[in-house]
Amino acid sequence: MGNLTDEQKAEMWRCHFLPLEIEAFDTQHTADGRLIPVNWAAGNFQAMLRSRMRWVDMLRGKGWTDEQIDRAIVKLYQNRAKAIDPHWLLQSEASPSARNNRLKDTAELRARLMRDRIAKVKGGNVYVKEMSKLPVKHIAKPPAKEGTLI
């Protein structure tokens, strides 16, 4: 008897998890041998299932077969410097970077770079403080100089 019900195992199979991944979640245990229950309703567990389905759907949209997708999943585990288990998928969904929007990070980085450039040119914090009051989307890129590729 494992952690997952037959319905949960079937759902993971439909989400294109490999038997070794399903077995790892079904038989996870503590150092003294007690089974660790799986919190199926947890947000990061459900996010892991959705992420796998989005990835599989994207590959299928590109014309990949199920066998090619299975080989790609196996390579996720084989091409690692250190040995990993399927729980790293769950940990990656729980990480703060999984919740952050990369586009927002990029916009904030551009604004910070722009402020730093202006501070170097104008020579001080006064101008930077004024720039920090402006929303990021209203800061335009500098015009390209003739003869340069930007």
Give SS3 for 55: helix
pLDDT confidence of 68, banded at 50, 70, 90?
very high
| Residue 51 predicted with pLDDT over 70 | yes
Residue 11 confidence (pLDDT) above 90:
yes
pLDDT digits (tens, 9 = 90+) for 72-113: 888 877 866 666 677 777 676 666 555 555 555 677 777 777
Tell me what percent of the residues of the chain surpass a pLDDT of 90. Answer: 14
* Residue extents of the structural domains in the chain: 6-99, 102-138
pLDDT tens for 112-127 read 777 777 666 666 555 5
**Distances 125 to 36, 54, 75, 136 between C-alpha atoms, Å:** 54, 45, 50, 18
